[in-house]
Structure 1
């Protein structure tokens, strides 16, 4: 088991929902007001982090609302006290100098509670319709490596010069740098070989999509075994949680969730038709039916409160330290998790110490 206390985060509701769009108790609502209230409450409940996903247009259809990630994160940073704000970024959409400056500003607003989550773009229309080049999969990672080399240097307060295939940066420095630590945290997502190498070389935390324990074990062991200098690489897992008094109740709720999700056929087909077929995560998703995004319920955090807590500890034993969670209906299930499951996890951690 990891010696560090396990951390729990929530996905911000920037899409309007992370589950079925037909759920009778959760209307699709991607408003600022809802996300503000959700994350302020998550902060009060003791969650450790929130992940603010980035899309400029909603992948389920551009008729759906979509909250902008970076302005939202700046506002959340000002309104919260303890929760870490982790904001996703697709390198194709922002020049590294601009992004680094924004990251340092949110680091300042938050008092040192900010993290950048670098993700490879998979939703082609978002990039191509803006007139930007949508590079093939491995080329996007080569671009992202240059981009992240520059961002990492700038957010660390270093005067930066870089000349590569995609960027030319001459004697650039951003001030103020972080007043609270060396730099904001860097998270990296993606499970392809180029993504693993990027995480090994740059990440403080590598995010793994929700999937069964043995698959997570193989991924964590592979990247942990790669030679790395500097700080220790940590690991995070995305998961959709369904916790109930009994395993039977939770299984029934999962069946209901699958039934509701099956009514979103048009939206699901739209997402898949516009996704890069070489994106590794969609290959993973095809192997593991699930509810939620980024693997969701495939992580197996479905069951009684005790069952879910025990499964979380098993993932912790594999090296997972941060759990980034989805629920539906989000707010009420977030409260249930905080009240019923987190105390059980803490009790198990104490017993294992």
Structure 2
């Protein structure tokens, strides 16, 4: 288990509809004023990162979206310590544009920008914006070239690269990012191609929500591969957090979310993501074993089971850390008030447990 404190990130709600495909009330807004205030609350609460989402088309209850890099910069301007991870999609972006954008933001914010490279799972979105849709493993080959090109642009002068997807000749970017050796690079996915790519080139690997046992199997596989490549990688796990004063209250909220799910939107989302996974050589992906109830939360966040009292959640977070998790990527129903509650009631218990101190009861 890492001796470093486990880190916390939250999903930026820059997409309308929140993080559950449900008609339950969500006191969460995708507008910029709400998101600026949320970033300030999260920073005060002890969160390390915010992750902006990338969407180009409406669907699955998400009719409106703010562009990820733009809103990331806006949130950085509203905070002092929080690092923001901007989601970027190969195809609409190329490495030269991404490298220049993020280097500039890095300079403006004293090194607080990172990238989440999204290889793409939604074929309809690529078609809608006129981008070619590559086969599953080709998408990850392109993403790996994208990352190798980013690293080269950010760390070298007179950079030359001859790939199948991207080519550079004697290119020097100035100014380079402040972060050394470069801004952190995150990626997701659970297919063999995704994990193998992460084990070669990424700094962080995001996985969908899962049980402790399921996550341990992924972490062990990933770290074994990375070690064989002489590479080190950290792991973040998605979790939808429902922290309440009693377990009964928390479970009632979960049940209401599921009871008020939008069946058509959930089934449509499930169809798309399961098709994407089935296209991989091994025939499965992030959502291969997801039930209807799991799919109500986009990234299987209910599976991680951070649902209950502050102490129950803190104990489960430390159990995740024990199997190699370095970061919890958090979603909430009512973001502003629940992020504040988490910072006040859950995070201090996590730090107590990490320090080996016995916690008799949750913070009052």
Query: Under TM normalisation by the shorter chain, which class is it?
Result: over 0.9
TM-score (norm 1): 0.93
Indicate conservation of the 8 Å contact 2:223/2:232, yes or no: no
Counterpart position of 2:270: 272
TM-score (norm 2): 0.90
Distance 1:92 1:284, change over 3 A: farther
Indicate conservation of the 8 Å contact 1:159/1:172, yes or no: yes
Q: 1:307 aligns with which of 307, 312, 315?
A: 312
Stretches (4+) displaced over 6 A: none
Counterpart position of 1:22: 23
Counterpart position of 1:38: 38
RMSD: 2.0
Indicate conservation of the 8 Å contact 1:73/1:106, yes or no: no
Counterpart position of 1:79: 78
Note the alpha carbon deviations across 1:186-222, whole angstroms, 9 max, x for none.
1111111110111011111111111111110000000
Indicate conservation of the 8 Å contact 1:211/1:288, yes or no: no
Whole-Å Cα distance in 1 between the matches of residues 89 and 98 of structure 2?
10
The equivalences for 1:1-353 within 5 A come to: 1-16=1-16, 17-26=18-27, 29-60=29-60, 64-226=63-225, 227-228=227-228, 232-260=232-260, 262=261, 264-275=262-273, 277-279=275-277, 280-286=285-291, 289=294, 291-351=296-356
Whole-Å Cα distance in 2 between the matches of residues 25 and 180 of structure 1?
37
Whole-Å Cα distance in 1 between the matches of residues 318 and 93 of structure 2?
38
Whole-Å Cα distance in 2 between the matches of residues 123 and 145 of structure 1?
19
SS at 1:294 equivalent: coil
Residue segments in structure 1 that go unaligned for 5+ positions in a row: none
SS at 2:24 equivalent: coil
Whole-Å Cα distance in 2 between the matches of residues 287 and 256 of structure 1?
14
Whole-Å Cα distance in 1 between the matches of residues 217 and 44 of structure 2?
35
7-16 or 35-44: bigger deviation: 35-44
Indicate conservation of the 8 Å contact 1:107/1:113, yes or no: yes
SS at 2:355 equivalent: helix
Whole-Å Cα distance in 2 between the matches of residues 154 and 284 of structure 1?
39
Counterpart position of 2:281: none
SS at 1:93 equivalent: coil
